[in-house]
Amino acid sequence: MEQPHRRQPLAGIKVIDLTRVLSGPFCTALLSDLGAEIIKVEPPSGDEYRYVGPFAQGESALFTLMNRNKKGIVADLKNPDHLARLLELVREADVLVENFKPGVAERLGVGFSAIKAINPDIIYASISGFGQQGELSGLPAYDLVVQGMSGIMSITGEPDGEPTKVGESIADLAAGLYASWAILAALFDRQRSGQGVHLDIAMLDCLFSLMPTPVAQWMFGGEAPGRVGNRHPLSTPFGSFNAVNGRVIIAVLNNRQFAALCTAMGQPELVQDERFGSDEARTRHEPELRDLIETWLSGHKVESAIASLAAAGIPASPVLEMGEVLARAQQGERRLLKTQQHHRLGEVPMMTQPVQASAWATPTPATAPVLGEHNAELFNP
């Protein structure tokens, strides 16, 4: 139950959600976690994510995760009556979010110009692969396409291996996160200026903005970076190392931490070795330092190595399997997964926004809507 003395920061904000699949639904799910009323508008066939597994009793896990807390209506925007009723909802809305391919919203009668004409204060967020204008704007874009074009695949993977995608749809999620951030900024700006705005969020731009390290490697005349595997391209030792029964993350960022590592390894004299006298020197001699660290780890299990490193004040961790992470997320103190009562499945674990705030209500996620569930309440004449 929501704590009576706590508040929902977006209570009273109404959002028309014309999005589907991942980037847009992730954006509006984050807004819903903060109390915004989200009206998800689907075509008669439904959001494509309803048909992407894994499934339980016909329910998509991905759709359920990304459409929590939302009301759902079905509208055929090519039907003039449906469009007219949707525009009536838009008149009372604060925000509209869409992730059609550029030009489609305009053709359907729900582009920014049409919406602004009936609701001048609207905050209108357009999420696309490559932006609303430009030579790439008309290209279809899924996450993997954007990962390939962003450069992130070229810096991910082993040095002698092929470019590798990030293990999640990071371009979609980055765009959804930036869109929610921009919408919040626009709501604050509207309080002061009294004006709405059209937000143009490109997946490619958002993913590029999450890569300051390769930009830093290039910006002062350096070469464009390549793949370095599981180590940091600029700091050493800062990566994944083999122990007896698994892999250990060791993250050393300065000379003080390196000295502590050398002492923990029983080799304090390494501090005086000119090959390892600075972060830059250690990075140049990364293979030699890796051999020394893994020789030490060859006598340790992951647990004992991490205990020794933690005692020395060195950031370190095991490389956990996803099953262990999920168990911690559900049972740990931070409760990154919360129980939701699903209309068909009973109790299921559910993601929610991760920020903890002293005066905000703790989100208790509600089930994603059945296709057209709220038509009678919100849409039917």
Dist. CA 221–CA 124, nearest whole Å: 39
At residue 310, what is the residue type?
Answer: A
**What ranges in the chain are assigned the alpha helix state H?**
23-33, 61-66, 80-91, 104-108, 112-118, 143-150, 170-193, 203-209, 212-219, 255-264, 279-284, 286-297, 302-311, 322-331, 375-378
pLDDT band at residue 381 using 50, 70 and 90 as cut-offs? low
Give which of 308, 284, 123 is closest to 200, Cα–Cα.
Answer: 123
The average pLDDT across 319-325 equals 94
* Backbone phi and psi for residue 115, each to the nearest 5 degrees, phi listed first: -70, -40
Instruction: Report how far residue 305's alpha carbon sits from residue 318's, in angstroms, rounded to the nearest whole number.
Output: 9
Using 50, 70 and 90 to split pLDDT, how confident is the model at 339? confident
pLDDT tens profile 17-50: 999 999 999 999 999 999 999 999 999 999 999 9
Instruction: Flag whether pLDDT at 191 surpasses 80.
Output: yes
Closest CA to 205 of 128, 261, 275, 262: 128
**Between residues 224 and 170, the one the model is more confident about:** 170
Q: Which of 5-9, 35-39, 259-263, 312-316 has the lowest mean pLDDT?
A: 5-9
DSSP state of 99: -
CATH 1.10.540.10 given to domain 14-210+333-378: no
Maximum distance among all Cα pairs of the chain, rounded to whole angstroms? 81
CB 66 within 8 A of CB 23: no
The answer on pLDDT for 115 being more than 60 is yes
Average pLDDT over residues 340-369: 88
Between 35-39, 137-141, 269-273, 278-282, the lowest mean confidence (pLDDT) is in: 137-141
pLDDT digit string, tens, across residues 211-245: 999 999 999 978 889 999 999 999 999 999 999 99
pLDDT score of 93 more than 70 = yes
Q: CA-to-CA distance for 300 and 242, rounded, in angstroms?
A: 10
Three-class SS state of 123: strand
CA atoms within 13 A on the CB side of 326: 5
Task: Compute the average pLDDT of residues 163-173.
Answer: 97
321 burial type by CB count under 10 A (0-12 exposed, 13-18 middle, 19+ buried): exposed
Confidence of residue 363 (pLDDT cuts 50, 70, 90): confident
pLDDT class for 3, splitting at 50, 70, 90?
A: very low
Q: What would the two tokens of residue 303 be?
A: 């647990």
Q: Domain-by-domain residue ranges, the chain?
A: 14-210+333-378, 238-242+247-318
Q: Do 14-210+333-378 and 238-242+247-318 show the same overall fold?
A: no
Q: Which two tokens stand for residue 66?
A: 């990304």
pLDDT of residue 324: 92
Task: Kindly state the average pLDDT of the residues 77-104.
Answer: 97
Structure token digits, residue 168: 């999640």
Residue 2 scores a pLDDT above 50: no
In angstroms, the CA 223 to CA 160 distance is 18
Marked catalytic residue, from 198, 232, 285, 374: 232
Q: Does this model's pTM top 0.85?
A: yes
**Token reading at 315:** 């950031």
Q: Which fold has domain 238-242+247-318?
A: formyl-coa transferase, domain 3 (3.30.1540)
pLDDT band at 124 (very low <50, low <70, confident <90, very high): very high
pLDDT > 70: what percent of the chain?
Answer: 98
| pLDDT band with cut points at 50, 70 and 90 for residue 1 | very low
232 is catalytic: yes
pLDDT at residue 335 in the model: 81
Q: What is the mean pLDDT of residues 166-183?
A: 98
The confidence score (pLDDT) of residue 222 equals: 82
Q: How far is CA 219 from the centre of its chain?
A: 26
Question: How many other β-carbons are positioned within 10 Å of the β-carbon of residue 135?
Answer: 7
Average pLDDT, the chain: 94
Distance CA 208, CA 199 (A): 18
**Nearby residues of 45 by Cβ (< 8 Å), 6 or more positions away:** none
